[in-house]
Amino acid sequence: MGDKKNMAINFFYYLILIVFTILSWGFVDANALLPGIPSLHSIIYSKTLYPTVWYAVTVAVLFAWYFWTLYRVRKGFLTSKHVWYLIISSVAILMWAYPALSNDIFNYIATAKVTFFYRENPYIIMPIDIPNEPSFAFLHAANKVALYGPVWIALTGIPHFLGMGNLLITLFTFKIFVIGWYLLLCYLIWIASGKKSWALAFFALNPLVTLSTLVDGHNDVVMMFFALSSFYLLGKKQYVGSVISLVLSVFIKYATVVLLPVYLYSLLLSTCGKRVNIKSQWVWCSIAMYLIFFLSPIREEIYAWYFIWPLTFLALVDKPTILHAASYGFSLGLMLRIVPFFYTRSWSGMTPLIKKIVTFVPPVISTFIYGKMRIR
């Protein structure tokens, strides 16, 4: 009976992902040189209540499934084999989705084209500076120079050349490229945790991670793969590879520079022959990435996919902590930040206030629940 119930719940989960994938193509920009679903596009942009309710309900259902899955993993009902099956299945469905929640992947594509096709310096030349380039017409940040480090720019040469100049093919080569790094990061978390199914499920099946990575193709998993690799290799006393990995991470996206104090302290202990407390190391790495996440509004604003940073290390912290409790609320709240925009189609007015409320109320509630449970 239990197996049938779990199969039914997972079937419903897959159904939600399939519906999300189909409806995502209604969000294709009207100016984009990409296929879309005109009838859906008309509904999404003229009857804003429909996409608002659909997205909010979808997020709520996905997180309910996520918490149910984590519970079953904790109780030993699901093994690593089951979790990997859920991961691969999610990839197989969501890789076909249009990046409906963010335009960042198109900026990766544009920057790569400026760099490798036009052979211009992306830190000086903006996509909008390139005349008569139709694929840049619908970008929402074409008036910006490259926002990421040189390692990321270099890596984007791979999906750029595989795209063969076709925007649709290039979109999928970039998505598949990022998904490959997602799977590598999932595998590394699994190995670093001692092949614990909960650590793998905690990170890999979090809807914030799956929607931000498998749907929107954000590059944060690439940065975090090298960041985690640096500490993993440090634990193996492979110092050269460890240092190289950390440098690569920092020069993909500069956020992981905040890990330096933890890294240097661990490196000092290791090279002096002293024992590194791995459990404490993961906690301090989580705190460091929480810190840079909270400081991100100094540059622009908090984005949902930035929370992949602390989630990576939190997956390796064995016992439930207040950091985990807050992460559940933040993951949910951050994915709901776009809801007021779906309804109003404006980032001004009441939208900024509502975004703050939906971002910070859920973690306050989840942390409060954690505190009450600890008291009991």
Q: What's the pLDDT tens digit per position in 127-178?
A: 888 888 877 766 766 778 898 999 999 999 999 999 999 999 999 999 999 9
User: DSSP readout, 359-370?
Assistant: HHHHHHHHHHHH
The conformational region for residue 356 under phi > 0 = left, psi -120 to 50 = alpha, else beta, is alpha
pLDDT, position 2: 55
Using CB atoms within 10 A of its CB, is residue 14 exposed (0-12), middle (13-18) or buried (19+)? middle
pLDDT, position 3: 75
pLDDT, position 1: 44
**H and E: helices and strands count for the chain:** 18, 0
How far is Cα 28 from Cα 33, in angstroms, rounded to an integer? 9
How far is Cα 361 from Cα 334, in angstroms, rounded to an integer? 10
pTM of the predicted structure, to 2 decimals: 0.95
pLDDT, position 334: 97
How far is Cα 16 from Cα 103, in angstroms, rounded to an integer? 22
Q: Which residues contact 191 (CB under 8 A, 6 or more apart)?
A: 232
Quote the crossing angle between the two packed helices 322-335 and 351-375, to the nearest 10°. 150
Detail the DSSP E strand segments found in the chain: none
pLDDT, position 281: 96
Q: How many CB atoms lie within 10 A of CB 130?
A: 17
How far is Cα 242 from Cα 276, in angstroms, rounded to an integer? 15
Domain residue spans in the chain? 1-218
pLDDT, position 349: 86
pLDDT tens-digit map of 306-340: 999 999 999 999 889 999 999 999 999 999 999 99
What is the residue whose two structure tokens read 């990839």? 91
How far is Cα 201 from Cα 214, in angstroms, rounded to an integer? 15
Are 17 and 24 a contacting pair, CB within 8 Å? no
pLDDT, position 357: 94
What is the residue whose two structure tokens read 């404490």? 280
3-state helix, strand, coil in the chain (%, to 5): 75, 0, 25
Task: Please give the C-alpha separations between residue 120 and each of 141, 149, 373, in angstroms, as whole numbers.
Answer: 17, 16, 57
Q: Which residues contact 49 (CB under 8 A, 6 or more apart)?
A: 343
Q: Which residues of the chain, if any, have pLDDT below 50?
A: 1
How far is Cα 183 from Cα 134, in angstroms, rounded to an integer? 33
How far is Cα 228 from Cα 285, in angstroms, rounded to an integer? 10
